[in-house]
Structure 1
Amino acid sequence: MHFSSLSDFLAMGGYGFYVWLSFGLSWLSLIGIIVSTLLKRRSLLEELRNKQARESRRQAARQMENTL
């Protein structure tokens, strides 16, 4: 399908509103998924760091307890 002008392209033969709305919602969904994934990753990494630090403290306490 060939369009003679930019406004014809944006109008999409009278269906432009639906076409661009679907593109917009698709992009919005993809961006939401990406942001959600990045936030979850950050949360999991922080939880892992806390768990490792806690385990290090427990191990140090056990060693200290054994030396007393």
Structure 2
Amino acid sequence: MTMQEFFAMGGYGFYVWTSYGLTLIVLLANIIIPVVQRRQFLRALALKQRRQ
């Protein structure tokens, strides 16, 4: 089996690799978005405490 055959996946390569890519994007978003939201929340909280 050549690399080209592996990536072609019997003619279904586009669908297979697209689904892998979308899955990776969703998994990364599930990691990154909460981290960003937590940082924003902590900044807002610190700013609110400084005002008081």
Give the TM-score normalised by structure 1.
0.63
Match of 1:26 among 23, 28, 31: 23
Residue 35 (structure 2) aligned to one of 38, 43, 55? 38
Q: Hey, which bits of structure 1, 4+ residues long, moved more than 4 A?
A: none
Of the three residues 3, 8, 12, the one matched with 1:6 is: 3
Same amino acid, percent of matched pairs:
44
| Number of residue pairs aligned between Structure 1 and Structure 2 | 52
Q: Which amino acid aligns with 1:48?
A: L
Query: Secondary structure of the equivalent of 2:9?
Result: helix
Question: Which structure is higher in RCO with an 8 Å CA cutoff and minimum separation 6?
Answer: 2
5+ unaligned residues in a row in structure 2: which ranges? none
TM-score between both structures, scaled by the size of structure 2: 0.78
Distance in structure 1 (CA, Å) of the matches to 2:27 and 2:42: 23
Quote the RMSD (CA, aligned, Å). Answer: 1.5
